[in-house]
């Protein structure tokens, strides 16, 4: 539709130009009308005859290339009506040719427009064209100014973003330095008061920490029991290898003199002594002074983690002592055990000291 509108505009211009006889000669007018005529033909055919068979066979191969030879800068190559009529076989597109013929008849109006007002009309058109050109130039200048302002605005936005990022980074590094290096800084005191010295935070932390510590202690104890059992098995195996009598090792242990009728146990489960041994080899506890269902007990095993003795032995070392450096454990006061269903249960914990 736009193309047809442009073509009709050219036709109107041609008619006006025909009136301005003193400015445009007959040859130029004819070429201009031929140019408008074939442009209209192209628009009409491609809009209305796109599905017809002659489009590919005739129009695309021979008609359109011939019609497109001319331009506004070189109107001499524009095909006239006779040339256009010869490009179409008989009956291929009579409607388009009839329209082209009507447009071609407008050439006859050139000689009919001889009145004196033609020159003034031409001048009016020229003045309007000059005015339009000046407005277009002014519009182009305004567009360039807007583009420059837009570029400047984007540059300012980018600079502001960079400055903001640098400020945030600087503040973060400064606060981090104040918190880690300067222990008396206001930032550190504020964080400590809010997060570390708050009673509510302490209470929540303790509630969260208690089950974790309890589970950790249980896991440590279970691991220590398994490790002690492995140590005992390794000790028994080593003893059997050294003596060369693997089958008689338990009997020799049973024949070991026990002047005090003491009992030996390798480990414990909660407050109950477990894994009774025939001798003190690899034993952790010694039960002595047996009187019916009651007796005394002491710790005679290797150095273990202090948590292992919880509930069975009380440690008499000073709180400042580093127990991990100790090499031996001595019983300073025996504890009491009681026999319950053939199991010795600790009633009063023994007192021990790491030395």
| Tens of pLDDT, residues 292-326 | 889 999 999 988 888 888 889 999 888 788 788 88
β-bridge mates for residue 295, sequence order:
337
Q: What's the pTM value of the predicted model, to 2 decimals?
A: 0.30
Closest CA to 309 of 231, 221, 219: 221
Evaluate if residue 254 carries a pLDDT over 50.
Answer: no
Task: Report pLDDT digits (tens) over 151-208.
Answer: 899 999 999 999 999 999 998 888 777 666 666 666 666 666 665 566 666 666 666 6
Task: Report pLDDT digits (tens) over 47-80.
Answer: 887 777 777 777 787 778 877 777 777 777 777 7
Burial of 162 (0-12, 13-18, 19+ CB in 10 A): exposed
Burial 280-311 (b: 16+ CB within 10 A, else e): bebbbbbbeebeeeebbbbbbbeebeeebbee
The stretch 248-258 carries a mean pLDDT of 43
Burial 101-135 (b: 16+ CB within 10 A, else e): eebbebbeebeebeeeebeebbeeeeeeeeeeeee
Kindly give, in sequence order, each residue whose CB lies less than 8 Å from that of residue 68, ignoring residues fewer than 6 positions away. Answer: 42
State the pLDDT at residue 348. 92
Evaluate if residue 97 carries a pLDDT over 80.
Answer: no
Average pLDDT over the chain reads 75
The stretch 231-247 carries a mean pLDDT of 68
Give the CA radius of gyration of the chain. 57
3-class secondary-structure state, position 74: strand
């Amino acid at each position: 539709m736009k193309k047809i509108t442009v073509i009709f505009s050219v036709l109107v211009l041609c008619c006006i130009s025909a009136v301005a006889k003193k400015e445009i000669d007959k040859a130029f007018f004819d070429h201009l009308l031929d140019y408008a005529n074939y442009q209209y033909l192209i628009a009409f055919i491609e809009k209305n005859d796109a599905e017809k068979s002659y489009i590919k066979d005739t129009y695309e191969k021979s008609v359109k290339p011939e019609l497109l030879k001319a331009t506004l800068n070189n109107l001499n190559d524009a095909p006239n009506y006779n040339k256009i009529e010869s490009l179409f076989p008989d009956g291929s597109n009579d409607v388009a040719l009839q329209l082209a013929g009507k447009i071609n008849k407008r050439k006859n109006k050139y000689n009919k427009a001889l009145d004196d007002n033609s020159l003034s009309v031409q001048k009016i058109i020229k003045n309007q064209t000059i005015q339009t050109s000046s407005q277009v130039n002014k519009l182009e200048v305004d567009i360039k100014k807007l583009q420059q302002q837009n570029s400047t605005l984007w540059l300012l936005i980018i600079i502001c973003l960079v400055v903001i990022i640098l400020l945030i980074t600087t503040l973060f590094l400064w606060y981090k330095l104040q918190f880690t290096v300067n222990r008396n800084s206001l930032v550190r005191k504020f964080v400590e008061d809010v997060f570390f010295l708050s009673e509510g935070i302490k209470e929540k932390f303790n509630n969260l920490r208690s089950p974790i510590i309890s589970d950790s202690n249980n896991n440590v104890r279970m691991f220590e029991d398994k490790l002690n059992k492995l140590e005992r098995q390794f000790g028994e195996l080593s003893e059997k290898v050294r003596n060369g009598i693997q089958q008689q090792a338990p009997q020799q242990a049973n024949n070991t003199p026990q002047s005090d009728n003491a009992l030996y146990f390798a480990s414990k489960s909660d407050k109950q002594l477990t894994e009774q041994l025939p001798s003190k080899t690899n034993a952790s506890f010694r039960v002595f002074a047996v009187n019916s269902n009651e007796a005394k007990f002491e710790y005679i095993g290797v150095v273990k983690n202090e948590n292992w003795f919880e509930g069975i032995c009380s440690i008499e070392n000073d709180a400042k002592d580093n127990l991990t450096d100790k090499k031996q454990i001595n019983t300073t006061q025996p504890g009491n055990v009681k026999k319950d269903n053939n199991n010795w249960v600790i009633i009063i914990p023994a007192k021990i000291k790491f030395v």
